[in-house]
Amino acid sequence: MSYKTGLIKMAIKWTPNAMIIWVANIVLKDIAELKDFNFDLETRKVYVQTQLLGESETIDVWLEDFAVVNDEDGYKFIVQQARSNRIWLTNLLSRIVGKAWKIPVIPQLAAQMELISELFKAENPEQKDN
């Protein structure tokens, strides 16, 4: 792990969830409200709870075992497990789980893609084979 990656992981770990929720709610104003958020880079787990404007119940989403992998064609994003408390959303997530999704080349981010790939690299060898 490079020095930069270590610093970024530390910054992610130390960023308070309350700050993330506050900023997200500014961005999502008049669309939804982020109620809860938990991101664990070490275990590769994300939990998000949001409430759409005008809805009485929240939507919960769990993502696990995600990675960015580098191959000869560029970079790809993989999510190994995803589920929700809504059946329709779990069914939708099941269509993206286990598939390698190509990350489009964005010239402004080309220099940072190697760092992002290192930060989110696959922890398990089987994640690289998909």
Block residue for tokens 């992610």: 12
Block residue for tokens 């589920």: 83
Give the list of residues 6+ apart from residue 24 with CB closer than 8 angstroms, or none.
34, 37
Cα separations in angstroms, 61 against 22, 29, 43, 122, 123? 19, 20, 16, 21, 22
Q: List pLDDT tens digits, range 56-73.
A: 999 999 999 999 988 887
Where do the domains of the chain lie? Answer: 3-128
Q: List pLDDT tens digits, range 11-38.
A: 888 889 999 999 999 999 999 999 999 9
pTM score? 0.79
* Cross-strand bridge partners of residue 25: none
CA-to-CA distance for 44 and 123, rounded, in angstroms?
9
Pairing of strands 59-71, 45-52: antiparallel
Classify residue 47 by burial, with Cβ atoms within 10 Å: 0-12, 13-18, 19+.
middle
Other C-beta atoms closer than 10 Å to the C-beta of 44 total: 20
Calculate the average pLDDT of the chain: 89
